[in-house]
Amino acid sequence: MHSVSTVHRKHYLYGMLMAAVGSVLFSGKAILVKLCFGYGINPETLIALRMLMALPMFWAVYWWESRRKTMAPISWLDRGKLFFLGFLGYFLSSYIDFIGLQYISAGLERIVLYLTPTIVLVISHFVLHKPISRLQWYALIVGYVGVFVVFIQDASSTGIHAWYGMLLVFASACSYAIYMIGSGEMVRRIGSVRLVVYASSASAFFSIFQSTIYNPSAMFEQVAQIYWLSLLNAGVCTVIPMLLIMVAINRIGSPLVAQAGIVGPVSTIFMGYLVLGEPITAVQIGGMLLVIAAMWLLVRNDAPRKKSLNNNKSDDFDGAETLN
């Protein structure tokens, strides 16, 4: 009995550790994007480089997964849905997020994106008529008050540009929230790995096409630092954390993974301070704590349903930060 308990504890700790590390790596994306902007690159070229470098890594994961288990064929209708979901959730969401990052701090960007589950909740309530409990409404209010408090920090230094940047990043979160709702049914039928690979392939197509229209030679004219940073973004801040989150969900379930994801916005604020020189103030910390408290309340409220789902499905992936 003691050995079984020890194994279970290790299983839990490894799952939480992978979830936390994955969340921190995802959050590093904003830091790398900010560093790239320092070299004068435009968002169109930057997102194309990121997706072009991530694409072979995603397909390598798909190849490995296909060797491990037999996969049923995907219909052309589902391929069309995946193509649209890739445009909405990966290309459009990432693109407007990159634009927004030009105007706000990396810390505020990550905190706004952390509100994605609340947007899913609101859309599901008004479009799909799913009920929202009183506790969830309180969590929503606390979360958005927290974002506004953090926003005050950016607005005090950049003025109207902070409004523009925050609205763009919030639109990015909305786009990804719609993707999450749309992909919920498909991930149960075709599996998380194939959904991510096909959707990211569609995003790569749109990103490269857009960059080619914008400036056909831009992807080949960047300084070496841009290519290295884009490679880090694609591998360390996109593909590797995606795998860590997927394994963590299979080990401990999505509610606990979401709780471990709290370290994401916290780490972004401190990375922004250490790498980019972004200030950390008491106002910013207070707002961040409000947002974290709101997300914790939502996760705790939804935990029983999520636990039931995860006990019945080992291949689901409902992490909210695959490419954003």
Residue 67 pLDDT: 82
Residue 210 pLDDT: 95
Instruction: Provide the residue type at 159 as one letter.
Output: G
* DSSP secondary structure letter of residue 273: I
In this prediction, the residues of the chain whose per-residue pLDDT falls under 50 are 1, 304-322
Residue 228 pLDDT: 96
- On whether residue 121 sits in a domain, the answer given is yes
- Domain of 235 in residue numbering reads as 2-312
- On whether residue 178 sits in a domain, the answer given is yes
- On whether residue 322 sits in a domain, the answer given is no
Domain count, the chain: 1
- On whether residue 183 sits in a domain, the answer given is yes
- On whether residue 230 sits in a domain, the answer given is yes
- On whether residue 323 sits in a domain, the answer given is no
Q: What is the pTM of this model?
A: 0.84
Instruction: Provide the residue type at 254 as one letter.
Output: S
- On whether residue 321 sits in a domain, the answer given is no
- On whether residue 317 sits in a domain, the answer given is no
What average pLDDT does the structure give for the chain? 84
| Residue linked to tokens 């992978």 | 18
CA trace torsion 62, 67, 72, 73 (10° rounding): 60
With a CB cutoff of 8 Å and minimum separation 6, the contacts of 89 are: 175, 176, 178, 179, 180, 182, 183, 199, 323
> For residues 259 and 265, what is the distance between their CA atoms, to the nearest angstrom?
12
Q: How many CB atoms lie within 10 A of CB 215?
A: 12
